[in-house]
């Protein structure tokens, strides 16, 4: 059973690689300007400049798909005849954020309404400002950030003499955006470097959803026509490997694992080795959850990264933060940044009532941008983080 | 940036020194600081507001205390209020009159329900219960497998008729589990449900259905100590959707202040029953409200420190330590070293200091503590001479004192109450009892285990060689012996090999403690006459608590 599955996967990978290569070749030479976005991406599958990604963030997920829409259809069509019925073909990432916007907006409604009613009051007196500050604090934005946002807002309202609700709201929106950092690069670097696959490490404290995020991310990438190898470097938690295998099995991504209690660094190393051997595009390593206060475990994590770096450079270290996390999230991010130098944050469980305001502080203090948001338990509920959508959803209600 | 409430308050009050009573302004300034401290500890805003108003009220009415300055007074009020809100008594599990007692776990995703289920099962088994774990989380991939593994670790059977991963009906599983438990004589059933969001009405309905199907005796709301302001919404949503009797707080081993505990208790009135403080199954216990209060205020946690010490040291050790301190003897560097090592046994010194109140101001220094410093101190102290002119080198030692008195001398070297001359030996007899105790104390840290092992090894080697008839030719080990080169040597040629008859016969003497055993190497001075007596005394000294002659601790 396993062998047939593997064989099927191998065939699909080969077909994809060959087909994709030819498609890219032909498209590059033949169709220079049919679909602007599409051609641009197809033209540069390995090194898409970040500016382009930023522009298209609304519509696409994570990274620009390496194939243009027609190419994607081709690749999606190919695996279907393959004799592996359990491999699902996830939808491509395009338009995902739009679909999820409604959900995000719903989850934020109470905060938005609270702010709206406050800002629409006739006179903005001391109490109102305090209320606004409190409302921000309830979103876990943190006392310092909330105070600062309100201070800035007050000054600007005073200077500009603004009165209207919409104007004040516009200012607040700008202020929030400035704190979240609207112009940060938020692409997840998943493009392979020539022969070598891109390596992504997923880290975080216990129970934030690392394995789920890893699985979802693999799905997104497979949906975009990448080949992905997963590494179950969570050798500590009971059944974590199986959980990841379930995710990998759904999309046909191979999962490298060892028995429980083995050295996570060796699993990670083997994963990268296998990804390189198989010519995979992206390698995602799921690590065990660890509290940032456990020095021993944090050292272990540092070791995992160092060992992986012997084989290949680590392109992304994603810290998975739970949206329900309070001020402790900042401490977590600080320690993880120190140990493994996180390059991005995946904010999960944003579909609940929690607002995930802690990212404002994390971003301000550490400058690490939020790159992905998890919006539910569905396998496709992972989207790129869009600060404008985030802030709008916060304010619209 | 101030780390602790007490720092904040101290800074507020620094300008008010000498004031006996809190003025209105002081109270307002204070309450702002308390508000900040509480918000930073993730206490929910509505709770903070109400809390502040109560504090203000009490602070105004409070009598002037002579013992406390205003800052301390306020902290005292805050602490008392916190403890009160967190609930005075520790809550116990209500067992059903007709078993099985059904405990249902509910909470957000990733709160730690499955792990807590295992911990709870283990905790209950310790009290002679026979818990059954039920895998009703059929949502998350492989949650069932995880529970099975956890059950195995906790050696508790797991009822998992459905494979999970989205298949099967958790309500049916829960219902069937009760029957299963009855048939198999399980008196407690722990139902692990899927993680769900408060806003997910479908899943909340499912939880309510499970509840109705099994009518649990206790529903535990499992919540992550790191949760922020959302704690209030979630707690309320679960209270409305499922209803729960108590709260279990997980991941308390992190540095989250756990203000959520306060919020949930205050908003829902449900007590916090369990606290889970680590990844291992035994890191689990009933919740202590008073300690949580200190934690929220970041005021240190002396009680935990004390408990940790109680776990690490036994009473006799503590008593000895205390007697050292209270005895008339001087507190020597050796005592100091011994205590440092005891402290070190408690864990990283930085962590210990962090548990002391008021240490928040020294956070940075604490972070700079390197436990290896203790090793360095040890090296420094142990390379010191006991007395001016007397190096702790074996040769010096032997040169300075006749061998018969060497041990006393060396021993007394720890104490400074050495007699003026080795001939004053008689003077020490009355002190023998106490010395016996002291030498034990000293031996405890002096690496005896290592020395003992080494001695045993030598004995065994010697035995083997003796059987081969080569004993007499055997060469002593290189270098000075590791220890125990103190007594009982007889008939040994200086620098020469050990003679066969000087080696203790393996039989009964095996019971000798190593430190008292005949030394392993060379002894320059032959003491045939004393041999018999000193060996007897050695045996005495080796028995704990029995008076005996002191022995000498050579270099460790």
Report the pLDDT averaged over residues A162-190: 81
Together in a domain, B441 and B521: yes
Taking the model in full, what pTM does it have?
Answer: 0.65
Q: What distance in Å separates residue B227's CA from the closest CA in chain A? A: 4
Q: Does B226 touch chain A (CB under 8 A)?
A: yes
Together in a domain, B126 and B209: yes
pLDDT of residue B188: 92
Q: Does B504 touch chain A (CB under 8 A)?
A: no
pLDDT band, residue A201 (cuts 50/70/90): very high
Q: Does B39 touch chain A (CB under 8 A)?
A: yes
**Most confident stretch, A108-112, A274-278, B365-369, B471-475:** A274-278
Total domains in chain B come to 4
Together in a domain, B117 and B266: yes
Q: What distance in Å separates residue A14's CA from the closest CA in chain B? A: 29
pLDDT of residue B81 exceeding 90, the answer is no
Residue B269 lies in a domain: yes
Asked which of A31-35, B94-98, B132-136, B408-412 is least confident by mean pLDDT, the reply is A31-35
pLDDT band, residue B363 (cuts 50/70/90): low
Q: Select the residue from A102, A289, A328 to test the B interface by mutation, using most B Cβ atoms within 10 A.
A: A328
Residue A72 to residue A45: CA distance in whole angstroms: 13
pLDDT tens digits, residue range A132-167? 888 888 888 888 888 888 899 888 888 887 667 777
pLDDT of residue A225: 87
CB A293 to CB B251 under 8 A?
Answer: no
Which positions in chain B touch A326 (Cβ < 8 Å)? 42, 226-231, 256, 259-260
Residue B91 lies in a domain: no
Does residue B115 contact residue B150 with C-beta atoms inside 8 Å?
Answer: yes
* CATH number of the domain that residue B43 is part of: 1.20.120.140
Residue B215 lies in a domain: yes
pLDDT of residue B517: 41
CB B226 to CB A322 under 8 A?
Answer: yes
Which positions in chain B touch A139 (Cβ < 8 Å)? 229
- For residues B285, B286, B291, B293, the Cα torsion angle rounded to the nearest 10 degrees is 130
Could you say which of B141, B150, B199 has the minimum Cβ distance to residue A243?
B141
Mean pLDDT, all residues of chain A: 75
Residue B292 lies in a domain: no
pLDDT tens digits, residue range B1-57? 345 556 666 666 666 555 666 677 777 887 888 888 888 888 888 888 888 888 888
Together in a domain, B253 and B352: no
Could you say which of A143, A236, A291 has the minimum Cβ distance to residue B254?
A291
Does residue A257 contact residue A241 with C-beta atoms inside 8 Å?
Answer: yes
Write the Ramachandran bin of A370: left for phi over 0, alpha for psi from -120 to 50, otherwise beta: beta
pLDDT of residue B68: 64
B344 or A104, higher pLDDT: B344
Residue B493 to residue B479: CA distance in whole angstroms: 16
Together in a domain, B256 and B108: yes
Together in a domain, B394 and B378: no
Together in a domain, B124 and B257: yes
Range of the domain at B26: 5-86
How far, CA to CA in Å, does B235 sit from each of A113, A329, B14, B108, B131?
A: 21, 20, 39, 10, 27
DSSP letter (8 states) at residue B492: P
Residue B294 lies in a domain: no
Which positions in chain A touch B224 (Cβ < 8 Å)? 207, 322, 324-325
Together in a domain, B393 and B375: no
CB A291 to CB B253 under 8 A?
Answer: yes
CB A326 to CB B145 under 8 A?
Answer: no
Mean pLDDT, all residues of chain B: 71
Report the pLDDT averaged over residues B62-78: 68
A280 or A139, higher pLDDT: A280
Tell the burial category of B313 from Cβ atoms under 10 Å away from its Cβ (0-12, 13-18, 19+): middle
Residue B429 lies in a domain: yes
Backbone angles phi, psi at B513, to 5 degrees: -70, 150
B314 or B375, higher pLDDT: B375
Together in a domain, B364 and B505: no
pLDDT tens digits, residue range A321-368? 988 888 889 989 999 999 999 999 999 988 877 778 888 888 888 889
| Residue of chain A minimizing CA distance to B255 | A293
The residue behind tokens 């050695």 is: B538
* CATH number of the domain that residue B136 is part of: 3.40.50.300
Residue B297 lies in a domain: no
Last residue of a domain, one of B328, B357, B382: B382
Residue A11 to residue A6: CA distance in whole angstroms: 8
Q: Does B410 touch chain A (CB under 8 A)?
A: no
pLDDT of residue A12: 52
Asked which of A102-106, B356-360, B552-556 is least confident by mean pLDDT, the reply is B552-556
Q: Select the residue from B36, B109, B222, B371 to test the A interface by mutation, using most A Cβ atoms within 10 A.
A: B109
Could you say which of B39, B251, B254 has the minimum Cβ distance to residue A137?
B39
Q: Own/partner pairs for A73-76, CB < 8 Å, 24+ apart?
A: A74/A19, A74/A23, A75/A16, A75/A19, A75/A20, A75/A225, A76/A225
Q: What distance in Å separates residue A293's CA from the closest CA in chain B? A: 6
With H, G, I as helix, E, B as strand and everything else as coil, classify residue B359. Answer: helix
B 43-82 residues inside an 8 A Cβ radius of A = 44-45
**Domains observed in chain A:** 2-89 (no CATH), 104-180 (1.20.120.140), 198-387 (3.40.50.300)
Together in a domain, B22 and B107: no
pLDDT of residue B451 exceeding 70, the answer is no
Together in a domain, B267 and B134: yes
Residue B306 lies in a domain: no
- Give the pairing type, strands A228-233 and A282-287: parallel
Residue A181 to residue A353: CA distance in whole angstroms: 23
Which positions in chain B touch A377 (Cβ < 8 Å)? 109, 139-140
pLDDT tens digits, residue range B100-126? 899 999 999 888 899 999 999 999 998
Q: What distance in Å separates residue B155's CA from the closest CA in chain A? A: 14
Together in a domain, B360 and B270: no
pLDDT tens digits, residue range B262-290? 888 888 888 888 888 888 888 888 887 77
Q: What distance in Å separates residue A4's CA from the closest CA in chain B? A: 23
């Amino acid at each position: 059973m396993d062998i047939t599955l593997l064989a099927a996967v191998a065939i699909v990978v080969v077909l994809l690689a060959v087909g994709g290569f030819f498609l890219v070749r032909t498209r590059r030479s033949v169709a220079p300007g049919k679909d602007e976005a599409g051609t641009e991406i197809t033209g540069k599958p390995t090194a898409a400049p970040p500016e382009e990604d930023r522009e298209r963030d609304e519509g696409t997920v994570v990274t620009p798909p390496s194939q243009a829409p027609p190419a994607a259809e081709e690749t999606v069509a190919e695996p279907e005849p393959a004799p592996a019925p359990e491999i699902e073909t996830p939808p491509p990432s395009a338009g995902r954020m739009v679909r999820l916007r409604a959900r995000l907006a719903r989850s934020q409604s109470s905060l938005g309404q609270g702010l709206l009613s406050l800002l629409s009051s006739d006179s903005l007196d001391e109490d109102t400002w305090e209320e606004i500050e409190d409302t921000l604090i309830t979103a876990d934005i943190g006392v310092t950030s909330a105070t600062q946002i309100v201070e800035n807002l007050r000054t600007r309202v005073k200077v500009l003499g603004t009165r209207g609700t919409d104007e004040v709201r516009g200012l607040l929106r700008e202020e929030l955006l400035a704190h979240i950092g609207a112009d940060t690069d938020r692409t997840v670097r998943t493009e392979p470097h020539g022969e070598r696959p891109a390596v992504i490490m997923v880290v975080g404290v216990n129970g934030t959803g690392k394995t789920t995020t890893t699985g979802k991310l693999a799905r997104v990438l497979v949906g975009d026509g990448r080949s992905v190898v997963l590494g179950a470097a969570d050798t500590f938690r009971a059944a974590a490997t199986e959980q990841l295998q379930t995710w990998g099995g759904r999309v046909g991504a191979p999962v490298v694992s060892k028995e429980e209690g083995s050295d996570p660094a060796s699993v990670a190393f083997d994963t990268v080795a296998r990804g390189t051997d198989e010519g995979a595009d992206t390698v995602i390593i799921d690590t065990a959850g660890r509290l940032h206060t456990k020095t021993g475990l944090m050292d272990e994590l540092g070791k995992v990264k160092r060992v992986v770096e012997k084989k290949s450079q680590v392109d992304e270290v994603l810290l998975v933060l739970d949206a329900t996390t309070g001020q402790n999230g900042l401490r977590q991010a600080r320690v993880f940044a120190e140990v493994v130098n996180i390059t991005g944050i995946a904010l999960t469980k944003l579909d609940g009532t929690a607002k995930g305001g802690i990212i404002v502080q994390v971003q301000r203090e550490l400058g690490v941008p939020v790159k992905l948001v998890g919006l539910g338990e569905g396998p496709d509920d992972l989207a790129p983080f869009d600060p404008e959508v985030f802030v709008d959803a916060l304010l619209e209600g | 940036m101030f780390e602790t409430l007490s720092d904040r308050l101290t800074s507020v009050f620094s300008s008010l020194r000498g004031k006996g009573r809190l003025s209105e302004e002081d109270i307002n300034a204070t309450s702002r600081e308390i508000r900040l401290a509480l918000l930073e500890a993730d206490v929910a805003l509505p709770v903070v507001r109400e809390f502040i108003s109560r504090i203000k009220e009490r602070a105004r009415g409070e009598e002037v205390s002579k013992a406390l300055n205003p800052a301390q007074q306020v902290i005292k009020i805050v602490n008392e209020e916190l403890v009160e809100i967190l609930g005075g008594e520790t809550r116990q599990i209500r067992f059903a009159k007709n078993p099985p007692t059904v405990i249902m776990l509910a909470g957000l995703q990733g709160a730690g329900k499955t792990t807590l289920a295992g911990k709870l099962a283990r905790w209950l088994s310790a009290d002679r219960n026979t818990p059954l774990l039920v895998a009703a989380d059929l949502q998350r991939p492989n949650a069932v497998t995880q529970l099975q593994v956890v059950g195995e670790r906790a050696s508790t059977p797991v009822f998992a008729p459905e494979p999970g991963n989205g298949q099967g009906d958790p309500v049916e599983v829960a219902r069937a589990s009760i029957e299963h438990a009855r048939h198999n004589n399980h008196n407690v059933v722990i139902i692990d449900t899927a993680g769900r969001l408060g806003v997910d009405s479908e899943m909340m309905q499912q939880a309510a259905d499970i509840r109705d199907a099994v009518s649990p005796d206790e529903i535990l709301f499992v919540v992550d100590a790191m949760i922020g302001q959302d704690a209030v919404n979630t707690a309320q949503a679960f209270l409305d959707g499922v209803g729960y009797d108590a709260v279990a707080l997980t991941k308390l081993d992190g540095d989250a202040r756990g203000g959520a505990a306060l919020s949930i208790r205050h908003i829902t009135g449900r007590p916090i029953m369990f606290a889970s403080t680590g990844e291992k199954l035994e890191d689990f216990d009933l919740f202590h409200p008073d300690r949580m209060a200190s934690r929220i205020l970041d005021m240190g946690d002396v009680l935990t420190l004390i408990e940790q010490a109680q776990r690490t040291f036994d009473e006799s050790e503590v008593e000895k330590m205390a007697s050292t301190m209270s005895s008339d003897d001087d507190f020597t560097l050796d005592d100091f070293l011994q205590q440092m090592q005891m402290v070190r046994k408690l864990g990283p010194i930085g962590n210990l200091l962090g548990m002391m109140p008021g240490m928040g101001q020294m956070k940075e220094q604490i972070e700079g503590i390197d436990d290896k410093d203790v090793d360095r101190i040890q090296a420094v102290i142990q390379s010191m001479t006991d007395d001016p002119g007397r190096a702790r080198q074996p040769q010096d030692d032997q040169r300075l004192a006749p061998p018969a008195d060497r041990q006393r001398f060396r021993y007394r070297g720890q104490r400074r109450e050495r007699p003026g001359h080795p001939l004053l030996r008689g003077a020490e007899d009355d002190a023998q009892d106490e010395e016996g105790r002291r030498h034990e104390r000293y031996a405890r840290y002096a690496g005896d285990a290592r020395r003992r092992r080494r001695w045993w090894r030598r004995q065994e080697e010697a035995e083997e060689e003796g059987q081969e008839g080569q004993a007499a030719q055997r060469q002593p080990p290189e270098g000075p012996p590791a220890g125990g080169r103190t007594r009982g040597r007889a008939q040994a040629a200086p620098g020469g090999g050990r003679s066969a008859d000087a080696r203790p016969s393996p039989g009964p003497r095996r019971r000798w403690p190593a430190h008292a055993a005949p030394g392993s190497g060379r002894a320059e001075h032959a003491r045939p006459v004393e041999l018999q007596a000193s060996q007897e005394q050695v045996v005495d000294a080796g028995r704990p608590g029995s008076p005996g002659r002191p022995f000498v601790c050579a270099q460790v």
